Amino acid sequence: MAHPRSVTAVRSPRFGDDWWRRGVIYQIYPRSFADSNGDGVGDLPGIIDHLDYLGPDGLGVDAIWLSPIYPSPGLDVGYDVSDHTTVDPVFGSDADFDRLIEEAHGRGMRVILDLVLNHTSDQHRWFQASRQSRSGPYADWYLWRDPSGYDDDGHPLPPNNWLSFFGGPGWEWEPAREQFYFHTFLVEQPELNWRAPGVEDAQFDIARGWLDRGVDGLRLDVFNAFLKDADVRSNPVRDGTTAWGRQEHRYDRDQPDFPDLIGRFRAIVDEVPGRMSVGELFDGTIDRAAGLTEDRHLVFDWGLTTMPWRAAAVRDTIELREGLFGQRWPSSVMSNHDQPRAATRLAQTGEAPDTDAVARGAAVLLMTLRGTPFLYYGEELGLRDVEIPAIECVDPPAYRFTSADFTWWDRSRCRTPLPWSPGAGAGFTNGRPWLRLNADAETRNVAGELADAGSVLNTYRRLIQLRASSRALQTGTLRLLPAGDDDVVAFVRDAGDEAVLVGLNIGRTSCSWAVPTGNDARPWRVALRTHGDASGGANAESAVELRQGSTLELAPDEGVVLVRTG
């Protein structure tokens, strides 16, 4: 990567080297954030133009994470990378990227890049060379294996029973080599062979290259899948409702030597203080995520993206993650580019709820749980999933395989452009957006929500501000309070001299919540509510002291944050 340059320092950041723990991280899906040149696809100059929206005088996030920006045929919409070292022209130039780093750093924000190191596109030069011949420098860089035999018609049989997570078999025959290659994802996304000499060094060089250009953190795509069983043994089979579920994935991910590999990667990140990484757990449980977590190296778990919006389920999820993470630091994720958007998903659980009220309640949870919040672009508007007609679907697993053994949710629905303002193109583009906009873009957009004090967006702004001023919310312990009123989830974040009490009515009716005061004589003050007058109730109520015996009326799905100091 030939970009030697002096990297700008982060100017007056809100937090020091532990920003990855105290701060809020905002995920940008670059194709859908802001289009600067009218081609209908978001790009880096578009992001730069809107940094003030995200920065200290705007939403107030501390870092942005960009989903892949590298050249790609786009079959897995950027996660099929054909060159990891440069910027896809559809997003701009390398100079635009350097400017983005400078402009973000200039506003006190860090930048995290998404690295896809488990597989490449089949158009990557490494694979192009590898598929041609069993000799040459890249011959073993992918997972090539001989057939396990031939059927009666002379067709080669795959080496083992491994499957593709995106549907169908995991092995693909390559006539030029007379061997199979493995792919966990699309057939156009061949799996790299991390065990082959040279592959690890090449991958680490890619990471170093971006870190040298000023990147502050790296997100590792499906990192626990990097290593496979060296003997490619078949997975044990078990009962299940899908083909994937009928295997115990013992040999195609989570190998015993993976912690050593990831340790070597983390050492590179740690060469400079203040850098971090976050691993995306592939198809795993919360305890696995907790087990792979270390200081400065977070791991996504999916507990908050799958829990139903019911008080008991939310309580159980919090209890489980607190128990499993213990002293380690969790991440909080309720939406991303692979999952239904939180507003849509959570509002499905209740009986005809006010979806914006649910989105505001979910915002309270995301910003007050113990862990680093990852906010997915559009989540701050309470954006819903968008109905995408089958003909416009741009998610191959959703249309390539139709079988009772394989179920898939069209991810195009949660990847639609961010609506900035009313009017054609919704301020996202002057052209034709690459994916259709939300049907309510005329009213649900950034400009409209900024002007509405009670909007989901302004709730996020207030919550992020509150979090930034509260040590208890950033780093305090979390104690779940016993269920009193069945619908109210309540917990205390404690940092010694400061405590924060969070109450969330996950119910379809209002309730009178008896504010728990414990033995502490100090009163609680209301810092924020998600329902009520235009200011969200905060100003009106902040003077009110809540002591022993006080109750608060909570509207359906209302969240309230109370503070006790001194």
Residues belonging to the active site? 221, 271
Which of 76, 122, 216, 379 binds ligand NOJ (CB under 6 A)? It is 76
**CB closer to ligand NOJ out of 287 and 338:** 338
- The least CB distance from residue 194 to ligand NOJ, in Å, is 15
**Interaction pattern, residues 98-117, with ligand NOJ; x per rule: CB under 6 A:** ------------------x-
Residue 188 binds ligand NOJ, judged by CB under 6 A = no
Distance (Å) of CA 400 to CA 77, 405, 415:
15, 13, 19
Q: Which is nearer to ligand NOJ, 85 or 542 (CB)?
A: 85
Give whichever of 98 and 191 is closer to ligand NOJ, judged by the CB atom.
191
> Could you give the residue ranges of the DSSP H alpha helices within 42-156?
44-49, 51-54, 94-106, 125-132
The least distance separating ligand NOJ from the CB of residue 71, rounded to whole angstroms, comes to 15
Find tokens 């998600």 and name the residue. Answer: 530
In angstroms, how far is CA 214 from the centroid of its own chain? Answer: 21
Tell the smallest beta-carbon distance from residue 88 to ligand NOJ (Å). Answer: 15
Q: How far is the CB of 171 from ligand NOJ (least distance, A)?
A: 17
Q: Report the candidate in 264, 334, 258 with the shortest Cα–Cα distance to residue 291.
A: 258
According to CB under 6 A, which residues from 251 to 290 bind ligand NOJ? Answer: 280
Could you tell me the smallest distance in angstroms from the CB atom of residue 126 to ligand NOJ?
A: 16
Interface with ligand NOJ (CB under 6 A), residue from 47, 222, 290, 446? 222
Q: Which is nearer to ligand NOJ, 74 or 308 (CB)?
A: 74
Nearer to ligand NOJ, 144 or 302 (CB): 302
CB of 115 to ligand NOJ, least distance (A): 11
Shorter beta-carbon distance to ligand NOJ: residue 65 or 329? 65
**Residue 489: both structure tokens together:** 């989830």
Residues with Cβ < 8 Å from 118, sequence gap 6 or more?
184, 191, 192, 221, 222, 223, 225, 226
CA distance 317 to 405: 28
Q: Which of 79, 97, 141, 302 binds ligand NOJ (CB under 6 A)?
A: 79
How many residues sit close enough to ligand NOJ to count as binding (CB under 6 A)? 9
CA-to-CA separations, 473 to 22, 422, 490, in angstroms, rounded: 8, 35, 14
Token pair recorded at residue 495: 């940092």
| Smaller CB separation from ligand NOJ, 76 or 216 | 76
Taking each helix axis from N to C terminus, what angle separates 258-269 and 199-212, rounded to the nearest 10 degrees? 30
Shortest CA distance to 273 belongs to which of 17, 518, 88, 15? 17
Choice from 188, 221, 301, 541 touching ligand NOJ (CB under 6 A): 221
Contact 135, 142 (CB under 8 A): no
Cβ neighbours of residue 527 closer than 8 Å, sequence gap 6 or more: 466, 500, 538, 542, 561, 562, 563
When binding is defined by CB under 6 A, the residue of 39, 270, 338, 485 that contacts ligand NOJ is 338
CA separation for the pair 93, 405 (Å, rounded): 42
Q: Cβ 116 to ligand NOJ, closest distance in Å?
A: 6
3-state secondary structure of 94: helix
213, 266, 296, 337: residue in contact with ligand NOJ (rule CB under 6 A): 337
Q: Which is nearer to ligand NOJ, 88 or 449 (CB)?
A: 88
DSSP codes, 14-55: SS-TTHHHHS-EEEE-GGGT--SSSSSS--HHHHHHTHHHHS
State the minimum distance, in angstroms, from the CB of residue 280 to ligand NOJ. 6
501 contacts 525 by C-beta, under 8 angstroms: no
Please identify the residue of the shown chain whose CB is closest to the bound ligand NOJ: 79
Start-to-end CA distance of the chain, whole Å, equals 53
Among 97, 185, 194, 513, binds ligand NOJ (CB under 6 A): 185
Cβ 366 vs Cβ 305: under 8 Å: no
- Given the rule CB under 6 A, which residues bind ligand NOJ? 76, 79, 116, 185, 221-222, 280, 337-338
